[in-house]
Chain A
Amino acid sequence: MMSYSAPIRDLTFAATELADLHGVCRLPGFEEVTAELLQSILEEAGKFAGEVLAPINWSGDQQGVRLENGQVRTADGWQEAYQQFIQGGWNGLPFATEVGGQGLPWLVATAVAEIWHAANMSFSLCPLLTQSAIEAIQAHGSAQQKATYLPKLVSGEWSGTMNLTEPQAGSDLSAVKTRAVAEGDHYLLSGQKIFITYGDHDLTDNIIHLVLARTPHAPPGVKGISLFIVPKFLPDAHGNWKLRNDIETLSLERKLGIHASPTAVLGYGAKSGAVGYLVGEENHGLIYMFTMMNVARHAVGVEGNGVAERAYQQAVAFAAQRIQGREIDDPSGERVAIIHHPDIKRLLLLQKCRIEALRALALLVGGCMDHERRQTDAQLQTRAREMVEIMTPIVKGYATELGLENVSLALQVHGGMGFIEETGAAQHYRDQRITPIYEGTTGIQALDLIGRKLIRDGGAMNGRVIERIREQCGALANARELAAMTDGMAKALAILQESANSIVASAADNMQLPAAVSEPYLRLWGVVACGWQMLKAADVSLTKQQDKQPADGRGDQQDATFYRNKLHTARFYFSSEMPKVHALGEIISTSSQLVVAADASLFQAG
């Protein structure tokens, strides 16, 4: 199977030169974080990912998970890898030192998370879900709940899950039916949850489920949903967490991909009721969920881009080794590796420029998450929060949708071998398919982007964010040399602003209209946001190329190659991805009526 080599140079570039690691390091609590520390962390994470997680990615896919006597068993090697992972202290990377975490910035956590997801997506979902559970308890749990659950979740001794979905309640959580009835200091839950990632497994001693449910007199809809902590094992009389709670794993789903990640149907309270503990106040559950949603959605975007990076690496290796055809301008020459063919180079370049742009965007948002939490200057903090608000659905929606296209291109590079399972390219294609679905489908991200992030305040916040990007792009050091790109960027921002205006205007008429073009609008934002990152990358690269002094002590020559290639990649992005803004702008301005006017008869067979 293909190996994985963490893109450490590009991750450090994106973190230090695009996402302003230095600014993040100046935030209170991050004084010890430096570029050198980031480098060491990425190198060691890359080593662990490459040697421990990546080798069991394919075997895990082939073997899958199984349910034996009510207990889920993970694939061979999973338990050992998980033990090594938590013993390495990786599980607690971004969490507070008081609860056993390492207190590192989300910017660093984002870079490291890409490495885990790329090496082994199915494996890394377990820590990803635990991270969400920690965030929820951290933000809304009582002091006692924090003391009870956080240290073990942060260390990874226990894992966490998110139990939202029910058969009738997926995108629309107002339909949640699971019941919770108060009994003394706790509640008894009953109902069914489906599609629960790592809902049961054999990696940890306990599993802490965070469950959305309704209390008996709760108001209908989203305002009547509460959040509960429901452990798989409860403490017995001696305080040992050995008492089995009334939760049953009813079945495991057979799926298109992520075969080694258990997706469970969980039955709560079939016997006596599952013991659960209320988080915060009754009926506030969905609001609590939303506070951690940003982190989880951002994480899935990073995941989508990580899987694309893995597939891309495999495609490059294959293209360099597969001999087929001759140089198109030398028909009598030697047969060559397919990487010589212009169309293969184009396929690889497309993947590369998108992955690098999305990586930079995801890290930038990671850094903004740090400013949002720790910045003491109120104005800077607001700016960071607004960036996170706008960019979260874009990172989630666009990185996963584009990730899907990318893994398809990576497979295409392999020709027929790509379609054959043993090659391994197919696994990335299958695994990637879930990323635009869970944690809110792309459609739901798009509604978030036009609803809460645009229409709600008449486009004011959206306009401010666009303006800040415009300012940055207007103040580049190498604006003259990059005129073609800055020009393209200015036009793209104008189209984005126009589209946003038209969406706000049409919303006043009929909300159906903006909803009909919300997905193209999310894509438009994605293309522009990525372009912003590539333009910055080009600017930095030009400056670095002109600098005779290697600023960070790395070998001159190595850096020269890196920056030259970065500039090349950025130029390719502007020639091959950026032009999409014109088409998307057109789609947004002309298609909504046609979508809304389509009635059921249009979709009837015949």
Chain B
Amino acid sequence: MAGSTFASRSYRDAAIILRTQNLGEADRIITALTSANGLVRAVAKGVRRTSSKFGATVEPFMVADIQFVHGRSLDIVTQATSKNTYGPPIVADYDKYMAASTMAETAERLMDVESDPAFGGAQFRLLHGGYSALARGVHPADVVLNSYLLRALSSAGWAVTWTACVACGKPGAHTGFHPAASGPVCTDCRPPGTRTLDPATVELLHALQHGHWEQTRAFRSDIRHEATNVVISYAQHHLERRLTSLGL
């Protein structure tokens, strides 16, 4: 009977560890984005001991196959097998680490708002791809972060249309941008506080949102910096909170 009870309470899923916090003597609470069960918060017992068999597997930015058991308030991790060890290559570069932390914070915030499993699956694949790109180092960390933020917000319903004014629909790459307007605005529709972007920034933001990686290589660092500021203000406006990891 005990076995069948355990089986009915347990489930296995691929998960990306977003963050951890210490619990008691040697345990950790892990916050994981799973492929089919959305955001899961679970206790990983004894993982802070050096003798732990899966301590390294449930570190942030790792992708693992995890067996969970439903608990009263938090689930419990009973087994974890590593699938992709993105943690070590990400943490070896401080810029990648900061970008990966912001991506984790964003994913957790989005999943707190929207708990639909299909949405969770899309966020899982997006974050998995983002961490893979960071770990392989094929693009600069800021480019991967900005692309991830724009795409994550798009899948949450806040996609930006970069080829027309969001207020009147007038076609063209408009350079006025206001986070509350949810995209570029033409000269006739500019709300107060609209910032004027370099046309190259608009082009870069379009390429980032649609994953046109080859195009992103051509832009100067000041254009990339302006794009970062736009993406951050846009993300923080729609997430309705400041991203802690960006303030450091």
Do A and B pair up? The answer is: no
